[in-house]
Structure 1
């Protein structure tokens, strides 16, 4: 069980590193496009399109790098003090997989939206921003609503679930002598 928990921690760190690289790449793309593409775009369109790309850069760094690193270090820090059993490790792994799926989907949607605006504005600078927004996801607002309604709650739920599992696992902490002692009156039975 300890080995699977260690594998989860390593996966968290690897995922964080990949997302850090992706976040830095999006930051570079954002800066590059602002210098090259935005020269011919009106200022109000520049601000809107640049906002999508710059917030995407920040979201990738926070959701993809910082949060998984916090999860990895927190899990590594408490793994010796957590009441480890097969079910708890399995739930931690499932919670993190849900977090990865939700965060990757959310970041993919943000990337799609940011790049879609850039491409549309670079093709026709006179196109209204409302028309570009309406054209997202091939103009299918129902699909857009469904996909956003799945992505955001999935990673938020998984993050809360992950910390809840850790919290419950800390119900019994070993003392220095090695004998377990309860943390609260409820855990005394």
Structure 2
């Protein structure tokens, strides 16, 4: 009789142990099935950068949201035939120096100051062939006036519209316009580089 009771107790213990193992496995599976939290998702871009625009002299579209989400951004209105056009070299230097740390440089060609090339092919040749530009360049846009592009409409409200070519706007990773620099500020100036380091 005692032996039978002992056997039954062992069987109950084995059953409880098996149930405990199954329960632990279920908890593990449930934890793996928990939906991804917001912190694990890709960062969202700012609403004012949620636009697509044609790339310079190309049929491809630049999704500004995808290009800038969670990154610091330097936005510049450029021109091909301007005394400040050589600043393309400095902008390319910034793109290479800080690109791996999370900086995106975007050039927006514009003829609002009457110094842009007559067609996109020439604009592309100037920036890419003459100055070796590899950072993002868009199709020409208006950066001021009634037909201003939405991106520059926001920049204008935040810091004022460009007064000349190669006006630079620095945007932090959260999409806040933190500073702007006139055409007289070199892209490689210590002032601009220091500001870039602060937002990276």
- For the criterion TM > 0.5, the same-fold answer is no
Rg (Cα) greater in structure: 2
- Between Structure 1 and Structure 2, which shows a larger proportion of strand residues? 2
- Between Structure 1 and Structure 2, which shows a larger proportion of helix residues? 1
Which structure would you say has the larger RCO, counting Cα contacts within 8 Å and 6 or more residues apart? 1
